[in-house]
Chains A and B, each alone.
Chain A
Amino acid sequence: MFLKRQLPLLITLVCGIIWGVQYFIPHPASEAVYSFYTDWGLVIGLFASILGFVSIIRLHYMKVRHHAKNWQFSVVTLSAMPVMIVAAILTGTESGGAFMWLYNYVEVPIEATMFSLLAFYIASAAYRAFRARSAQAAALLVAAAIVMLGRVPVGAQISFWSHLFPGTSIPQIASWILNVPNMAAKRAINLGVGLGMMMVSLKIILGIERTYLGGQE
């Protein structure tokens, strides 16, 4: 029982203390300790990737085997993988080979287009935000509108009042919003997040936070 339950927590505590103290020590031995984590952690992560590959192959295989809904598309997924591997073996991973061709003309366009779909989603999210439920939500909307307009030529063009009050054109107000209230909010959130992160790290080291071990067996 100790082996399964207490030992991992002990390992976590010891590792946490060692690598936490490492930060304060410039000695070469300490540098070695740090690179020990980076090198080894990388290798462990590589082995763990195997789990992922197995998981996805298993998922789609099951779908095909049991003729689940849309199983035909799972065939596409399952066949794409060996195609990529074979392409890499036959033509290498340099540009010009079939492997990079598939990457450049299949994966990249699809991903780039998905990214660009964001343009539409943003428009509809903005529409949703139009129905501001409170004054504060309206502030979000107004700030967003000003900053958006500040980044295109139109914003400066419609700032007719800035003749009378120099320094108040839309792009300049946008810049002020980004550098003053936005900066304040960001900093405070970062401080809170920093505290939260440190607390979670401490909880893990002390063994209060045990989720990553996966259960109370």
Chain B
Amino acid sequence: MKARAILGALALFFLSCGGGPPRAPFEVIVEDYPNDAGRSAIVKWEHFAGNGVKAYKIMRGTTPDNMREISQISVEIPATRDKYVPPDTTDFVGKFGYYLVLEGEKEPFTAHLVRVTPETEDSLRKIGKRIEKIETEIKGYNEGVKKTIIAYGNFYKLYLDNVKETELIPVEGYSLTEEAGVPRIVPNGRTPITFVAVKKPAEEIRFIHSGERMAELTPDIEGFCKKYGEQVRGVILEDSVRVLVNKVELEYSDEDSLCPDSTYYYKIVSVGINRKESESEPVSIKPIDDAPTPLPSLYALLDTVTNDLFLNWKTQDEDIQKYVIYISTAGDLEHRKGRKLLEVAGSWAYGYPAVVRLEGLGASLEDSIIYVASLDTSGQVAYTELSTIVPTHFDSMPPLPEGLVVDDLENDNGKKLVLRWEPPTVYLGYRVRDPISEAKKLVPKSVDISSLDYYLVTEGESRKIVEFENPNDVPEGAKKIYWLQTPTLREGDKELVVLYDLYANSARKPGYAMLRLDDGEPVVDEDGDGSYIFSGVPIGKHKLTVDFLDENRRVFENPEAHVEMEVNVTADNPEVPIEYPSVYLEVARTSDLEETNIMMFDRVRFLPGMLREYTDPVDTTKEEFKYAVLAWDPSGGISATPIIGPVRRVPNVYHTGKTTVLIATIIFVLAALTMISSAKKGKHLYIRPIAGINHVDEAIGRATEMGRPILYVLGLSTISDIATLAGLTILSRVAKKAAEYQTRLIVPCYNPIVMTIAKETVRSACADAGRPDMFKERDIFFVTQSQFAYAAAVNGIMLREKTATNFYMGMFFAESLLLTETGSAAGSIQIAGTDAITQLPFFITTCDYTLIGEEFYAASAYLSQNRIQIGTLKAQDVLKAIMMVLIIIGGICATAGIWRFVNIFHIQV
């Protein structure tokens, strides 16, 4: 048995370890991290998908000999697991004969693609290898591949079926009509023609006409390859050698761990699927403390009411120690004439707006020029542009939050207040991109107009289609048009990535976005991650509609929750980012309930304009407050809401979000009490038999017959764990039986408190059985609180005491298999009970009987045959029945879209 086990394990070991080590990573370089204090660096290297590497380790040290691992990156092992593997995209290119010639001394080689002709075949055979298959996706397993080589190459597989003799050129603004049976080109300003075909010079045609189906990408055919081709990731040569030719750049940012001006060495270790490793040569860097980036967009506003100067800029670098604000005069481009006004610590997080308010200075500064210098930790400086100070005015009133309400925050411990306003709003943007996978198939609808006299005339950057009836009028360089391709591309169209952002206050219980393209089916974005992709979108203009849904999947009624946008999908992959309002909101608060001038309130927090809620943590000890919200726009416009309040913060006594739990618990307790009382009244309650429980007596009897002791393991958890308590309850029954049969019971314990209880339990069980002398205190003892030391000790006990019966009742972890295997090797009968789902499979396969989860808890009721205990068991059944009904109703509701019911069970604490 042992031998088999050893062999089996060794077999598994070698299965996962077979093969040679992977290749070391290529082209490892390390660069200084930009805009930092010299404490970070970026390491980059190249990875070829399918090269058998599952992870890369990044090592760093101050000398090349003394490096240690600082991080690890896993790479996707292509197409082995959960992802859909597209249909076979390899291809036989035998008919056209391509050879691969590798150049270079060692990997990575440079790969050259050569198409063979009968004359060149012999000499090519000497220097290269014939390509048998090309792969546009690398699969995780090798179809008979004997070896893998890595080379740089940029090859495309071309689909040339639909390319005519002539090149296709895009021109916009024309479409095709048929007039009296004759196609005519009409400029209509609406429908762009994607391509026109013109006659090309002979050499260019030859390339296409020769029927080659693979090409190495060069700049002059780059557009063509990308339009009609698919990138090759690997080729398989005639001797079943795979060459990987497509690389991915990987990088790792080592942040905040270096000292500037010290030299560091890095190397990358590739970890293969078989766990073997190889490493690159070390590279070194001295990180540089970069000078700060000049700050863009400094706003300087003068609050004409309070005379406060209000400055706002966007932080850029991470290592700014302080900002110094200077007042200067116009024309001070060298930033020399500034008079220092104030120094501020650089405490804002990177990328956040910095806001500074200088009180009362404003009046003297009107018409001044201001600039801000940022100093980093090593004293390097950068400056903003010179800005004029703009006085605020109430002429243009930026929009204020509608429906502003200030409340005590619900369900909290009384420290916070919350400001909420309307309306729920959707912000939209989009990005057009080429589809990620899938071969591009062009299905052009084209019309042959070679019999007509249309020419493509190029004027500078633009192209026009002109009809020349007289061939002599055709200008130089104009090309005759042979056919037109109308623009609706079918498959292989673009993907539209919709970017959305939903803002609503939490009292509205917001949910999801529902998107709809043109007149298609509306779709709810279930994962709510802010983006949704529409595939197969033809080129042209489309209508995108997005609705904001609440948690019951109903659309919010206000107009901002329903947004329509015209999306222009064109070949050049446009991007329209989400546009947020440029208004800033400022929350003002006071605890002085007599104050009526908003400008005298404390300015608590600055918020971007798209938020709809703010939770104020209120760090003071006062209890009542008044609030107002100001809106600023960058041109100086300011407006303010009326004062709201006073609002008092209140510690809440009941958490409304937990109502479902409360009701469920009450139902639970009522069900239990009802069944218990009907049990007490003497009603007979049926319980079905369970295998493991019935054999307990039998197991104890066996131990008695053999004259060997019983081992009872209570598990490896504390007394607060319900599983341990259930184990103790069963121990009580087992101990009683064992005392009756006069069999020795050994209970090694993992936890001292559990040991204490176990002792008392066994003692009183022996007394109940009428045999108090059977209680042996030394047989119930504490072993150790260390998992495997405990397992080792218990194994020792099993073997030395030769226990006939082993009980495992409680909470177990990884050591479960160690215990049960040793027990079964010793020939004991074993009964286990646990709720540890991860260990149940091991118990089931190694023990004679196992109590699974709830059966384990039911066991104490069974073994006692006590009416009340059985009553609780029935109560559990009642509740299970209720749960099953709820699941059925819930499933029906979810399928039918009735989310109100399902949301009852959604608890937000």
Q: Are B1 and A199 in contact (CB under 8 A)?
A: no
Within 8 A of B (CB), among A176-199: 186, 189-193, 195-199
Among A107, A127, A199, A214, contact of B875 (Cβ-Cβ < 8 Å)? A199
Q: Are B82 and A196 in contact (CB under 8 A)?
A: no
Chain A nearest Cβ from B902, distance in angstroms: 16
Among B672, B817, B844, B880, contact of A192 (Cβ-Cβ < 8 Å)? B880
Residues of chain A within 8 A (CB-CB) of B868 are: 208
CA distance A157 to B273 in the complex (A): 13
Q: Are B669 and A202 in contact (CB under 8 A)?
A: yes
At the interface, yes or no: B84 with Cβ under 8 Å from chain A?
yes
CA distance A38 to B81 in the complex (A): 44
Q: Are A215 and B761 in contact (CB under 8 A)?
A: yes
At the interface, yes or no: B70 with Cβ under 8 Å from chain A?
no
**In this complex, what residue of B is CB-closest to A48?**
B753
Among A55, A159, A198, contact of B781 (Cβ-Cβ < 8 Å)? A55
Give the tally of cross-chain contacts (CB within 8 A). 254
At the interface, yes or no: B687 with Cβ under 8 Å from chain A?
no
Q: Are A208 and B869 in contact (CB under 8 A)?
A: yes
Chain B nearest Cβ from A120, distance in angstroms: 5
CA distance A169 to B763 in the complex (A): 58
Q: Are A24 and B852 in contact (CB under 8 A)?
A: no
CA distance A26 to B154 in the complex (A): 63
Among B787, B837, B852, contact of A111 (Cβ-Cβ < 8 Å)? B787
CA distance A49 to B5 in the complex (A): 39
Q: Are A25 and B655 in contact (CB under 8 A)?
A: yes
At the interface, yes or no: A110 with Cβ under 8 Å from chain B?
yes
Q: Are B726 and A200 in contact (CB under 8 A)?
A: yes
Residues of chain A within 8 A (CB-CB) of B119 are: none
> Known contacts A52-B785, A192-B880; is A214 also within 8 Å of B760 by CB?
yes
At the interface, yes or no: B814 with Cβ under 8 Å from chain A?
yes
At the interface, yes or no: B397 with Cβ under 8 Å from chain A?
no
Q: Are A107 and B84 in contact (CB under 8 A)?
A: no
Q: Are B835 and A193 in contact (CB under 8 A)?
A: yes
Within 8 A of B (CB), among A112-161: 114-115, 117-129, 140, 144, 150, 152-157, 159
Among B77, B669, B760, B778, contact of A213 (Cβ-Cβ < 8 Å)? B760
CA distance A167 to B760 in the complex (A): 58
> Known contacts A140-B845, A153-B140, A196-B858; is A175 also within 8 Å of B82 by CB?
yes
Q: Are B837 and A51 in contact (CB under 8 A)?
A: no
Chain A nearest Cβ from B894, distance in angstroms: 15
Q: Are B857 and A51 in contact (CB under 8 A)?
A: no
Residues of chain B within 8 A (CB-CB) of A175 are: 81-82
Interface 0/1 of A85-112, CB less than 8 Å to B: 0000000000000000000000100110
Q: Chain B interface mostly helix, strand, loop or mixed?
A: helix
At the interface, yes or no: A65 with Cβ under 8 Å from chain B?
no
> Known contacts A51-B752, A127-B1, A163-B88; is A26 also within 8 Å of B764 by CB?
no
Q: Are A24 and B763 in contact (CB under 8 A)?
A: no
Residues of chain A within 8 A (CB-CB) of B79 are: 156
How many residues of B are counted as interface, with CB atoms below 8 angstroms from the partner's CB atoms? Answer: 107
Q: Are B140 and A125 in contact (CB under 8 A)?
A: no
Residues of chain A within 8 A (CB-CB) of B81 are: 150, 156, 171-172, 175
At the interface, yes or no: A79 with Cβ under 8 Å from chain B?
no
CA distance A200 to B413 in the complex (A): 31
> Known contacts A51-B756, A114-B791, A120-B6; is A129 also within 8 Å of B845 by CB?
yes
At the interface, yes or no: B792 with Cβ under 8 Å from chain A?
yes
Most buried by B among A114, A144, A175: A114
Among B139, B662, B857, B880, contact of A200 (Cβ-Cβ < 8 Å)? B857
Most buried by A among B722, B749, B759, B783: B722
Within 8 A of A (CB), among B38-53: none
CA distance A202 to B788 in the complex (A): 33
At the interface, yes or no: A201 with Cβ under 8 Å from chain B?
yes
Residues of chain B within 8 A (CB-CB) of A154 are: 15
CA distance A111 to B788 in the complex (A): 5
Among B676, B761, B781, B852, contact of A56 (Cβ-Cβ < 8 Å)? B781
CA distance A103 to B858 in the complex (A): 41
Within 8 A of A (CB), among B66-80: 77, 79-80
Within 8 A of B (CB), among A55-101: 55-56, 59, 62, 69-70
Most buried by A among B753, B787, B856: B753
At the interface, yes or no: B315 with Cβ under 8 Å from chain A?
no
Most buried by B among A29, A169, A211: A211
At the interface, yes or no: B832 with Cβ under 8 Å from chain A?
no
| Extra pairs beyond A55-B782, A166-B87, A202-B872 (10, CB < 8 Å) | A26-B654, A52-B749, A52-B751, A52-B755, A55-B781, A114-B792, A118-B814, A128-B846, A171-B81, A199-B857
29 A-B pairs whose Cβ atoms sit less than 8 Å apart in the complex:
A26-B413, A26-B414, A28-B414, A29-B651, A31-B413, A51-B752, A53-B782, A59-B782, A110-B792, A111-B788, A115-B788, A115-B814, A120-B5, A128-B846, A153-B141, A157-B142, A166-B84, A169-B85, A172-B81, A175-B81, A189-B835, A192-B853, A193-B835, A197-B722, A208-B868, A208-B869, A211-B731, A211-B732, A216-B768
Nearest 4 pairs of A and B residues by beta carbon? A214-B760, A215-B764, A52-B752, A196-B857
